A and B are shown apart, each in its own frame.
Chain A
Amino acid sequence: MDETRIQDRGPAGEPSLKELHEKSPAQPSDIRGGVHKTLPHDSAARHVSGMARYIDDEPELPGTLQVYIAMSSRAHARIVSLDLDVARRAPGVVAVLTAADIPGQNDYSPVMGDDPIFADGFVFYIGQPLFAVAAETLDQARRAAALAVVDYEDLPAGITIDEAIAHAEAEGRDLLPSHTMRLGDADAALAGAPKRIRGRVEVGGQDHFYLEGQIAVAIPQEDGDVIVRSSTQHPSEVQHNVAKMLGVPDHAVTVEVRRMGGGFGGKESQPALFGCVAALVALKTGRPAKCRLDRDDDMVMTGKRHEVRVDYDVGFDEGGRLQAVAFDHFVRCGYSSDLSAAIADRAMFHADNAYKLPAARIHSRRLKTHTVSNTAFRGFGGPQGMVGIERVMDRVAFEAGLDPLDVRKANFYPADGSGVTPYHMSVSDSVIEEIVEELEASCDYRARRREVRAFNAANPILKKGLALTPVKFGISFTTSHLNQAGALVHIYKDGSVHLNHGGTEMGQGLFTKVAQVVAEELQIDIERIKITSTTTAKVPNTSATAASSGSDLNGMAAQAAARTIKGRLIDYAASRYNVSAEQVVFLPGRVRIGNMEKRFEDLVGEAYLARVSLSSTGFYATPGITYDRETASGTPFFYFAYGAGCSEVVIDTLTGEHRLLRVDILHDVGQSLNPALDKGQIEGGFIQGLGWLTTEELWWNDKGALMTHAPSTYKIPTANDRPDDFSIRIWEKGRNPSPTIYRSKAVGEPPFMLAISAFSALTDAVCAAGDYRVFPDLDAPATPERVLMAVEAVRGR
Chain B
Amino acid sequence: MAEPIRFILNGEERAIAGLAPTTTILAYLRQHAGLPGTKEGCAEGDCGACTVLLAEPDGVGGLRRRAVNACIQFIPSLHGRAIETVEYLGRGGLHPLQAAMVENHASQCGFCTPGFVMQLYGAWLTGALTDRQSVKDVIAGNLCRCTGYGPIVDAGLDLAARPVPDTRAEDAALAERLVALLGGEMFHYEAAGGAWCAPRHADELADLYASRPDARLVAGATDVGLWVTKQHRDLPVLIDVSRVEDLRHIEAGPGRIYIGAAVTHREAASHLAEVHRDLGEMMRRFAGYQIRNAGTVGGNIANGSPIGDLPPALIALGARLHLRKGETARSVPLEDFFIAYGRQDRAPGEFVAAVEVPTLEDNQRYFAHKVSKRFDSDISAVMAAFLLTFEDGVVSEVRLAFGGMAATPKRAAAAEAALVGQPFDAAAADRAAAALAEDFAPLTDMRASSAYRLKVAENLIRRFEMELRDNPPARVSLAREFA
List residues of A whose CB falls within 8 A of some B CB.
40-41, 43-54, 56-57, 59, 139, 142-143, 208-213, 259-264, 294-296, 458-462, 506-509, 650-652, 654-659, 661, 676-677, 679-680, 683-688, 695, 697, 699, 707-708, 710-713, 715-722, 724, 726, 783-785, 788-789, 792
Contacts and interface: CB of A to CB of B under 8 A. Distances in A.
Nearest to B447: A713
5 contacts: A261-B112, A461-B463, A684-B145, A713-B446, A720-B140
A48 B94 contact: yes
A294 to B, nearest CB: 6
A688 B140 CA distance: 16
B1 interface: no
B105 A211 contact: no
Contact of A657 (B36, B85, B94, B479): B479
A680 B146 contact: yes
A654 B459 contact: yes
A783 B453 CA distance: 13
Contact of B107 (A44, A260, A461, A686): A44
Interface string B117-141: 1000000000000001001110111
B44 A712 contact: yes
B477 A262 contact: no
Given A50-B114, A139-B232, A715-B378, A44 B102 contact: yes
B230 interface: yes
Nearest to A706: B446
B283 interface: no
A720 B146 CA distance: 15
Contacts of B373: 695, 697, 715, 783-785
A789 B452 contact: yes
Interface of B: 30, 34-44, 46-47, 49, 85-87, 89-90, 94, 97-98, 101-103, 105-114, 117, 132, 135-137, 139-153, 230, 232, 369, 371-379, 381, 445-449, 451-452, 455-456, 459-460, 462-463, 466, 473-479, 481-483
A652 B108 contact: no
A48 B466 contact: no
B24 to A, nearest CB: 12
Given A46-B110, A47-B107, A212 B39 contact: yes
Q: Main secondary structure on chain B at its contact with chain A?
A: loop
A143 B110 contact: no
Nearest to B369: A655
B42 A711 contact: yes
Given A652-B477, A716-B143, A785-B373, 4 more contacts: A41-B105, A459-B473, A680-B146, A699-B446
A719 B149 contact: yes
Most buried by A among B30, B49, B101, B449: B101
B423 to A, nearest CB: 21
Q: Which of B34, B446, B481 has the most CB of A within 10 A?
A: B446
B147 A788 contact: no
Given A48-B101, A461-B476, A784-B371, A710 B36 contact: no
A52 B90 CA distance: 13
Contacts of B35: 50
A366 B105 CA distance: 40
B456 A212 contact: no
Contacts of B152: 719
Nearest to B37: A50
Nearest first, the 6 A-B pairs at minimum CB distance are: A50-B37, A507-B109, A261-B111, A47-B110, A687-B148, A507-B108
Given A655-B460, A707-B445, A715 B374 contact: yes
A726 B140 contact: no
B230 A296 contact: yes
Contacts of A788: 452, 455-456
A593 to B, nearest CB: 38
A680 B147 contact: yes
Given A655-B371, A657-B479, A45 B463 contact: no
B108 A509 contact: yes
B474 A459 contact: yes
B449 to A, nearest CB: 6
Interface majority SS on A: helix, strand, loop or mixed?
Answer: loop
Contacts of A48: 86, 90, 94, 97-98, 101-102, 106-107, 110, 113-114, 117
B478 A680 contact: no
Contact of A295 (B44, B142, B476): B44
B446 A697 contact: yes
B378 to A, nearest CB: 6
| Interface core residue of A44, A262, A687, A719 (most chain B CB under 10 Å) | A719
A211 B143 contact: yes
A427 to B, nearest CB: 29
A295 B26 CA distance: 15
Nearest to A47: B110
Nearest to B156: A719
Contacts of A50: 35-38, 85-87, 90, 114, 117
A253 B481 CA distance: 59
Nearest to A751: B148
B102 A712 contact: no
A710 B103 CA distance: 32
Contacts of B369: 655
Contact of A49 (B46, B87, B448): B87
A720 B112 contact: no
B373 to A, nearest CB: 5
A135 B459 CA distance: 54
A721 B477 CA distance: 17
Residue of B89, B151, B449, B455 with most partner-chain A CB within 10 A? B455
Contact of A679 (B46, B105, B117): B105
Contacts of B101: 44, 47-48
Most buried by B among A460, A680, A722: A680
Contact of B36 (A40, A57, A142, A262): A57
Contact of B109 (A212, A656, A687, A724): A212
Contact of B146 (A53, A56, A507, A721): A507
Contacts of A461: 463, 466, 473, 475-477
B478 A652 contact: yes
B109 A262 contact: yes
Contacts of B34: 59
B188 to A, nearest CB: 24
A657 B479 CA distance: 9
Q: Max chain B CB contacts within 10 Å: which of A48, A210, A260, A462? A: A48
Nearest to B107: A47
A654 B102 contact: no
B111 A54 contact: yes
Given A458-B474, A680-B151, A211 B94 contact: no
A722 B478 contact: no
Contact of A716 (B30, B43, B110, B145): B145
Contacts of B379: 712-713
Contact of A53 (B36, B97, B105, B112): B36
Contact of A718 (B42, B107, B377, B481): B377
A695 B374 contact: yes
A687 B111 CA distance: 18
B108 A295 contact: no
Nearest to B38: A50
Nearest to A792: B455
A228 to B, nearest CB: 20
B324 to A, nearest CB: 31
B148 A686 contact: yes
Contacts of A783: 373
Q: Which of B102, B139, B379, B445 neighbours the largest number of chain A CB atoms within 10 Å of its CB?
A: B102
A294 B231 CA distance: 12
Q: Which of A211, A654, A721 has the most CB of B within 10 A?
A: A211
A710 B40 CA distance: 13
A139 B23 CA distance: 11
B132 A724 contact: yes
A710 B44 contact: yes
Contacts of B97: 48
Contacts of B106: 48
Contacts of A650: 478, 481-482
